[in-house]
Chain A
Amino acid sequence: MQFALLIFESPEAFAARNADENDPYLGAWRAYYKALVEANVYVGGNPLQSPETGTTVRLKDGKRRVQDGPFADTKEQLGGFTILELPSLDAALEWAARCPAAAIGAVEVRPVSPEYLRRVTG
């Protein structure tokens, strides 16, 4: 089954993205990605640009409401996601613990919902 690892990062971690090639956080991510691919569990994923690049849209009483910035105003923000193919939640939690973001931010593990996808796509 598939699990999404939702990566929550601190402002410092977002700032570190501009660091040079030898930055340890970048190195850790590179290694983590390689380990996921080589272990044959990696399905897909993407990093997201920093939270202030986000724009949030709502319709209230038929009127458009547009807000600068991310949906939730929290210190740690969604910084990306990874989809993994794994036999169990236990295995997904193991991989989440190894994620470089787990030590400085948080990683939320959520099962992907193929049932709902089927109902949506028909």
Chain B
Amino acid sequence: MSGGEQASIHRAIERVARESYGRLVAYLCSHTHDVGSAEDALSNALVAALETWPRDGVPQNPEAWLLTAARRSFIDLVRHRQVAEASEPTLALLREESKDMTLSPKFPDERLKLLFVCAHPAMDPAMHTPLMLQTVLGLDAARIAHAFLISPATMGQRLVRAKTKIRDGGIRFEIPQERELPQRLDAVLEAIYAAFGIGWDDMAGVDQSGRDLAEEAIWLARVLLHLMPQQTEVHGLLALMLHCEARRAARRGPDGRYVPLSEQDCQTWSRPLIEEAERHLKEASTRGRTGRFQLEAAIQSVHAERARSGEIQWNAIMMFYEQLIRISPTLGTRTGYAAAVAEARGAEPGMAALDAIDADDVSAYQPYWAVRAHLLRRLGKTPEALDAFDRAIGLTEDPAVRQFLLERRG
């Protein structure tokens, strides 16, 4: 076999792994809740594929092939672990199902249940995103650890502990009831957005891993939208992320320098992504309740409008922030509101909005100090501005942003 054919088979395996990973894991563990064994079984199946496919060719239905192989391995693994007798009926069920498995390549998509399990209220909120990235997308612990600024060994342990809780903690694999759905869905959306935010912040222009994480988050949102097309906030979240993604290239100058949003060359924004974002935002606005992600997407939509009109409607942004504060009064929202007020109404009311935030909450919050430095300078309060610039610079992780602030400070 030539190197080219080898490579094409490896690509085929990678592709089916990416497309099917979450579907296969979710399906395998939907009865046993044993996410760890499902993942191990699937990775055994992928190893088997790497051995078999180059010899016998890629099977006609690669996903069904992987599922059959993974299921065999899964039964072995679960049996090997000798989980209490209680799991015996499950084993019988699995054996039964695997008989006619090859006849029907179709199997139910259980990913939605898996997403709700990952963001279950009984799970540590800090683990929602890592769990999703691993169980639905198959990212390895080391890569997740880098993104979350945690040592790989620690992240590995935390993931294992979380999966033990899923298996033994009586967490149900189900789609929440109507009554609790909004809140449960919020947790899923938050976790996806957290992945995107990390990918976004990490983008030092050169960091490929950060960039990929934002793409993974968009992928997750697309999966979720496919499973829940009627949910307003899923459209809102996807619109928000697509608007940000559209500007990715514009965030850095050709020399790698940081370019703030208001100074970006909008000709370099991706028009197809903006149009897709607008379609989702429109879809969201035709449905019921206005949600947090819909409002955040609307703010980004106003910024995107600059590409057409040449100006930023700060009044509109300020009003969206006012609504947003009522739903989600986070530090980020309140800081964004103050910045919008400063642009729409002037630096003094902007400062007043900043001063309304409790000083204890912002001692390590970089955006607050960056906005504050900017406003103090506009008000001509030079020593205070320098001090705020220092706080912002000292809290900055991205070297390009640090350089930008150092130059603004002067």
Q: Is the CB of A36 within 8 A of B150?
A: no
Q: Write the B136-169 contact mask toward A (1 if CB under 8 angstroms, else 0).
A: 0000000000000110001000000000000000
Does B282 lie at the interface of the complex (its beta carbon under 8 Å from any beta carbon of A)?
A: no
The tally of residues in B whose CB lies under 8 Å from a CB in A reads 20
Q: How many A-B pairs fall under 8 Å by CB? A: 53
Given contacts A27-B406, A28-B406, A93 and B393 within 8 Å (CB-CB): no
Binary interface encoding of chain B residues 317-352 relative to chain A, with 1 for a CB under 8 A from any of its CBs, else 0: 000000000000000000000000000000000000
- Neighbouring B residues of A110 by C-beta, 8 Å: none
Asked if A97 meets B390 with Cβ closer than 8 Å, knowing A24-B406, A38-B363, the reply is no
B393 pairs with A27, CB closer than 8 A: yes
| B280 shortest CB reach to chain A, Å | 33
Q: Return B387 CB to nearest CB of chain A, in Å.
A: 8
- Indicate whether A100 sits within 8 Å of B402 (C-beta atoms), given known contacts A34-B394, A40-B363: yes
Bound CA span A25–B184, Å: 46
| Chain A neighbourhood of B249, CB < 8 A | none
Asked whether any CB of chain B lies closer than 8 Å to the CB of A35, the reply is: yes
Q: Which residues of B lie under 8 Å from residue A27 when comparing CB positions?
A: 393, 406, 409
Contact indicator A35/B394 (Cβ below 8 Å): yes
How many angstroms between the C-alpha atoms of A111 and B403 in the bound complex?
30
Contact call B150/A93, Cβ cutoff below 8 A: yes
Give every chain A residue within 8 A of B399 (Cβ-Cβ).
103
Cβ of A31 to closest chain B Cβ, rounded Å = 4
CA distance A98 to B389 in the complex (A): 15
Q: Does A73 contact B (CB under 8 A)?
A: no
Interface set, chain A 3-47, CB cutoff 8 A to B: 24, 27-28, 30-36, 38-40
Contact of B396 among A24, A90, A98 (CB under 8 A): A98
**Residues 68-101 of A at the B interface (beta carbon under 8 Å):** 89-90, 93-94, 97-98, 100
In the complex the two chains form, is B363's CB within 8 Å of A28's CB?
Answer: no
Partner of A34, one of B391, B402, B406: B391
Residues of A within 8 A of B (CB-CB), count: 22
User: Bound state CA distance, A103 and B396, in angstroms?
Assistant: 11
Tell me the nearest residue of chain B to A96, going by C-beta.
Answer: B149
Cβ–Cβ contact B363 & A98, under 8 A = no
A28→B364 contact, CB < 8 A: no
Contact call B149/A28, Cβ cutoff below 8 A = no
Known contacts: A97-B149, A100-B402. The answer to whether A36 contacts B363 by CB under 8 A is: no
Whether B150 lies near A32 (C-beta < 8 A) is no
Please provide the chain B residues from 365 to 410 with a CB less than 8 Å away from any CB of chain A in the complex: 387, 389-397, 399, 402-403, 406, 409
Which single residue of chain A is at the shortest CB-CB distance from B400?
A: A103
How far, in angstroms, from A35 to B392 measured CA to CA in the complex?
8
| CB pair B391 A35 closer than 8 Å | yes
CA distance A28 to B393 in the complex (A): 7
Q: Which residue of B lies closest to A90 (CB)?
A: B150
> Measured between alpha carbons, how far is A103 from B389 in the docked complex, in Å?
20
Select B390's contact among A31, A39, A94, beta carbons within 8 Å: A31
Flag B221-233 by CB within 8 Å of A: 1 or 0 each.
Answer: 0000000000000
Asked whether, in the complex, the Cβ of A98 is within 8 Å of the Cβ of B149, the reply is no
Q: Bound state CA distance, A35 and B390, in angstroms?
A: 7
Min Cβ gap B257→A in Å is: 13
Complex contacts, A24 vs chain B, CB 8 Å: 403, 406
Q: Find out whether the CB atom of A30 lies under 8 angstroms from the CB atom of B390.
A: yes
Instruction: Decide if B149 touches A93 in the complex (CB within 8 Å).
Output: yes
Determine if B150 and A31 form an interchain contact, defined as CB atoms under 8 angstroms apart.
Answer: no
List, in ascending order, chain B residues with CB within 8 A of A100's CB: 402
Q: Which 7 pairs, one residue from A and one from B, show the smallest C-beta to C-beta distance?
A: A35-B394, A31-B393, A31-B394, A31-B390, A103-B399, A39-B363, A32-B394
6 contacts between A and B (CB under 8 A): A30-B390, A31-B389, A32-B393, A33-B394, A93-B150, A98-B394
Please give the residue numbers on chain A whose beta carbons come within 8 Å of chain B beta carbons, in ascending order: 24, 27-28, 30-36, 38-40, 89-90, 93-94, 97-98, 100, 102-103
